[in-house]
Structure formats: C-alpha cells, structure tokens
C-alpha cells in the first residue's frame, strides 16, 4: 500500500498516464521479472518478456496473446540483445519502459571466488544491462522519451560478507544508472533504480545463485551467515506491482526507489556511520590537500 505524503506535492507530481505502456523486461521467467510482467499485462499494458529459455515464459504468451512478445535472450550476448530490442520496437511500434531485471548472485568470500566466477557475474549483472541500455537509447531518442528502470538492491548501498561480489556489481550498477540519468534527461528519457530489500522470490534458488569452490576455513563462518539469512523477514513480491506502477506513472519519477519497509533504516545507519568516520578523520584528510591550485597539470607547470 502506498501512503500519501501530507505534502500535497506528491499527488500533483504523480499524475498517472492513462494510456497503456509498452515494457521490455529482461529476466522475466521468475522472481520480480515474472511478477511485474504478469501485473503489467493484467493492467492492460503490453510487454516484451525475455528469458534465457523461451519455454519458461511460454504460458504468458498463451494467457495474454498479442499483448505479449516472448523472446529468448541471454543478456551477455550483445548481438542477441540488439536483435531482441529491435524485434520489440518493430512489433509494438514504441518502447515506454525498459526494465533491466536479469541478474544473479555469486556466493563466495572474497578469497574464494575465481577470476572466472567474478567475470561471469559482471558479464550478467553489469555488462548485460549496459548492452540493453545501449541498444534502446537510439530508439528512445528517436521517439522523444522513455523510462529506463534498473533492478538493483539495497545492497547497492551497503554490503554483506559472502555475497560481497554481488553487492559490488550493484554498486557499479547504481553508478552507471546515476550517470546515465544525467546524460539522457536532455532527450526526455527518465531513469529509476529500484532497490528491493529481502523478498520471498526465487532469487535465493539454485537457479539464481552460483557458488564458488569453497575453502574449509570459511565453512563455519558461512553456515552462521546463511543461518542469519534464513531468519530474515521477507516481503511478499506480489505486493510490489502497485508501488512499481506508481513510480512508472509518475510525471517525475525518482532516481532511486526503495522497495519494501526494511531498506531505509539500514541504509540511513550505514551512511551515518560513514559520515562519522569521515568527520573523525577530517583534519588528517584536509592536511593532505597541500596548496590548492587551479588549472590543468600542464597549466600549473
């Protein structure tokens, strides 16, 4: 349920657009991608749903007919991404919402993960979304606007042990989208980063997790960590579509949007801790400035 702010500006800024929207969604076979694709179709929007295996989304085609285009897509294949985007634009005639949702988590301590493990994670979680963004931008500019949405995590601001590489991919994901927002607003293109907390989705399943080869010295530590995770209170993913629709229908959507009630307090404390440390060391930091000079290195010679 979305609670209305006492400030009436929220109501005026979130005037819904009544016409149906065309979505392009990656990772639509399960988790949030599946929930949001189904919900968008139910409300009368049109959706290009993509997944690594076409059979995993075939039932959506049977249910929604011409309002859905199902496409097989591996986001780590830039040519396949470009083709899928072009097929969507040709089929529906426009693109309103591009939802970068595909991704997975690597389970490993920093010491355990191999370079190949890390590279594969970044190929999917960072370079895959970039391929989608680069493929859609010429089309969004051509039509005079659109809305790019990236599914990040509250771990785009904080981190945890054992899934540090996953968190690092989300920190990079957030930086890319923040830069993108500044670069494309001149074209009428909006950008929003969706940051979910813990939810009872398939994200924790074997299909959405990859495990590096473990070291015995971390066995007990990881067992304790996973015990803590198992006790986390998890939100209901089916409660999220209305919040997402409020964001995409807003005249001025936010750059960042927490999904769920658990994120803000955690991130607020994390930033308070960081500020306290920076401020405690401020004098030492300032002492390293030296004599400030303006101009380029060549001009200062």
* Cα gap 80→206, rounded to integer Å: 25
Largest interatomic CA distance in the chain: 70
User: Quick one: pLDDT at residue 297?
Assistant: 64
Q: What is the mean pLDDT of residues 28-37?
A: 94
170 is a catalytic site residue:
yes
Torsion on CA atoms 259, 71, 81, 91, rounded to nearest 10: -100
* Cα gap 148→23, rounded to integer Å: 10
pTM above 0.75, yes or no: yes
pLDDT in tens, 86-142: 999 999 999 999 999 999 999 999 999 999 999 999 999 999 999 999 999 999 999
pLDDT in tens, 190-249: 999 999 988 876 545 455 578 888 899 999 999 998 888 777 778 899 999 999 999 999
* Cα gap 184→84, rounded to integer Å: 22
- What sign does the dihedral 35-38-43-49 (CA atoms) show? positive
Strand partners, 193: 150, 256
Residue 104 to residues 19, 22, 127, 293, Cα–Cα distance (Å) = 33, 25, 13, 45
Domain ranges of the chain: 18-284
Q: Where are the beta strands (DSSP E) in the chain?
A: 22-25, 46-51, 68-72, 97-100, 105-107, 146-151, 189-196, 209-211, 256-259
**Catalytic-labelled residue, pool 29, 131, 152, 212:** 152
Residue 262 to residues 74, 136, 155, 256, Cα–Cα distance (Å) = 32, 33, 12, 15
Complete DSSP assignment for 120-159:
HHHIIIIIHHHHHHHHHHHHHHHHT-EEEEEE--GGGT--
* Cα gap 104→153, rounded to integer Å: 12
Q: Assign domain 18-284 to its CATH architecture.
A: 3-Layer(aba) Sandwich (3.40)
pLDDT in tens, 48-60: 999 999 999 999 9
The total of other beta-carbon atoms located within 10 Å of residue 221's CB is: 12
89 is a catalytic site residue:
no
**Catalytic-labelled residue, pool 170, 190, 199, 222:** 170
Q: Residue 193's closest CA among 229, 230, 155, 227?
A: 155
pLDDT(16) > 70: no
**Catalytic-labelled residue, pool 89, 166, 168, 169:** 166
287 is a catalytic site residue:
no
């Amino acid at each position: 349920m979305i609670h209305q702010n006492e400030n009436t500006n929220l109501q005026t800024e979130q005037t819904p657009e009544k016409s149906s929207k065309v979505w392009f969604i990656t990772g639509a076979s399960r988790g949030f991608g599946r929930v949001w694709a189904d919900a968008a179709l139910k409300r009368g929007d049109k959706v290009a749903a993509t997944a690594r295996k076409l059979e995993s989304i075939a039932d959506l085609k049977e249910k929604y007919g011409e309002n859905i285009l199902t496409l097989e897509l591996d986001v780590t294949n830039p040519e396949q991404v470009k083709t899928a985007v072009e097929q969507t634009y040709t089929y529906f005639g426009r693109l309103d919402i591009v939802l970068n949702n595909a991704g997975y988590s690597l389970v490993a301590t920093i010491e355990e993960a191999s370079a190949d493990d890390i590279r594969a994670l970044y190929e999917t979680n960072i370079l895959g979304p970039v391929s989608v963004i680069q493929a859609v931008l010429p089309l969004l500019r051509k039509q005079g606007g659109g809305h790019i949405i990236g599914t990040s995590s509250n771990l785009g601001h904080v981190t945890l042990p054992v899934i540090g590489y996953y968190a690092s991919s989300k920190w990079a994901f957030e930086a890319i989208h923040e830069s993108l927002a500044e670069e494309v607003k001149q074209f009428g293109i909006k950008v929003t980063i969706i940051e979910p907390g813990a939810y009872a989705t398939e994200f924790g399943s074997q299909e959405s997790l990859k495990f590096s080869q473990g070291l015995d010295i971390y066995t007990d530590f990881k067992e304790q960590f996973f015990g803590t995770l198992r006790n986390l209170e998890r939100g209901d993913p089916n409660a999220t579509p209305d919040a997402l629709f409020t964001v995409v229908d807003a005249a001025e959507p936010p750059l960042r949007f927490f999904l769920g009630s658990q994120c803000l307090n955690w991130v607020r404390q994390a930033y308070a801790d960081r500020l306290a440390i920076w401020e405690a060391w401020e004098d030492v930091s300032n002492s390293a400035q030296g004599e400030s000079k303006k101009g380029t290195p060549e001009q200062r010679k």
